[in-house]
Amino acid sequence: MPSPLADLVRYAAALEPAELAWAHLAGRLDAEDTQFLAFLRRCDLDTRGQDFALLENSEQLDADCRALAAGRDGLDRVWAYLCTCVAGTPDPAGRQEFLLDRAADGRGMDWSSTTALMGTDRPEEVDAALDRSDPLAGVALIGLAVTHPDPANILPRVARALASDDPDLVHQATVALAHTARLHGTVDRACLDLLRRLPRGNEADDDIWAFVPRHRLPWWLWRSRLLPGR
């Protein structure tokens, strides 16, 4: 099982191969956590993740880490930022450089691969995709809905997509909302207000009715279920 540190790292930064290699050589991560994070980043980057695949499957991890980190300066900088995250006071400049900027310029995920995007687990990747109107932003949103453990990090992005003028993105947002309701048993007021504007009988209507406690559901959804056609 990965350690709490590895789980923090996966959400706090979009690591590059040499940075992960440096952390193992410096004793920041043991072999299990190093290979777990390599697996996640290989999935993020799909066919562009060859160096992470090397670490994930390595039988000579120290040697492969040395090869990836050789001649590279400043590899400890991301780990200085991650230490502030561990302390509960994340450095805003580090978050900007190692998470937000990498999401904005596409280094965090392979944006040509729907396979990679279905594993999106950093909400900031979805924010950046929506900001730049990426054609696969909705796929990443669905990936976030099925991957991220906290609905509080999913639902605001779903609401933003539901408010879009793009019908394809709105449909993908309803699918993401359906997954969130099914997996977490919850929905928020902003998403419900936006969902009300859509035709009834969509994927989100069905799963919200099935998985969210009925006493938390609005009257209009009750009416559509109990009085179909009204």
pLDDT above 70: percentage of residues in the chain: 99
pLDDT tens per residue, range 108-123: 999 999 999 999 999 9
Residue 228 has pLDDT above 80, yes or no: no
Cα separation of 26 and 78, whole Å? 13
Of 55, 90, 108, which residue constitutes the final position of a domain? 108
Tell me: do 137 and 86 sit in the same domain: no
Residue 46 pLDDT > 60, yes or no? yes
Is the same domain home to 20 and 44? Answer: yes
- Average pLDDT over the chain, rounded to whole? 96
120 and 15 part of one domain: no
Is there a contact between 146 and 118 (Cβ–Cβ < 8 Å)? Answer: yes
Q: DSSP letters along 142-202, please? A: HHHHHH-S-GGGTHHHHHHHHT-S-HHHHHHHHHHHHHHHHHHS---HHHHHHHTTSPTT-
Q: What is the predicted pLDDT for the residue at 12? A: 98
**Quick check: pTM over 0.85?**
yes
Q: How confident is the model at residue 230 (pLDDT cuts 50, 70, 90)?
A: low
Same domain for 20 and 83, yes or no, is yes
Q: Which tokens go with 205?
A: 């209507």
Q: Return the structure tokens found at 172.
A: 């993908």
Same domain, 180 and 213: yes
42-50: long-range contacts (C-beta < 8 A, 24 or more apart)? Answer: 43/116, 43/119, 44/14, 44/108, 44/109, 44/110, 44/116, 44/119, 45/109, 45/110, 45/116, 46/110, 46/112, 46/113, 46/115, 46/116, 47/110, 47/113, 48/110, 49/110
197: domain range?
Answer: 116-230
Residues 148 and 202 occupy one common structural domain = yes
The 10s digit of each residue's pLDDT in 140-193 is 999 999 999 999 999 999 999 999 999 999 999 999 999 999 999 999 999 999
Q: Is the pLDDT of residue 2 over 90?
A: no
* 156 shares a domain with 102: no
- Are residues 168 and 199 part of one domain? yes
105-121 b/e with 16+ CB inside 10 Å = b?
eeebbbbebeebbebbb
**pLDDT for 47-66, tens place per residue?**
999 999 999 999 999 999 99
**18 and 103 both lie in a single domain:** yes
For 50, the token pair is: 């060859």
- Among the candidates 108, 136, 154, a domain finishes at 108
Distance (Å, rounded) from C-alpha 208 to C-alpha 32? 38
Residues in Cβ contact with 147 at an 8 Å cutoff, skipping those fewer than 6 apart: 119, 120, 121
What is the CA angle 103-100-147, rounded to 5? 60
Q: Which of 111, 191, 112, 127 is nearest to 159 (CA)?
A: 191
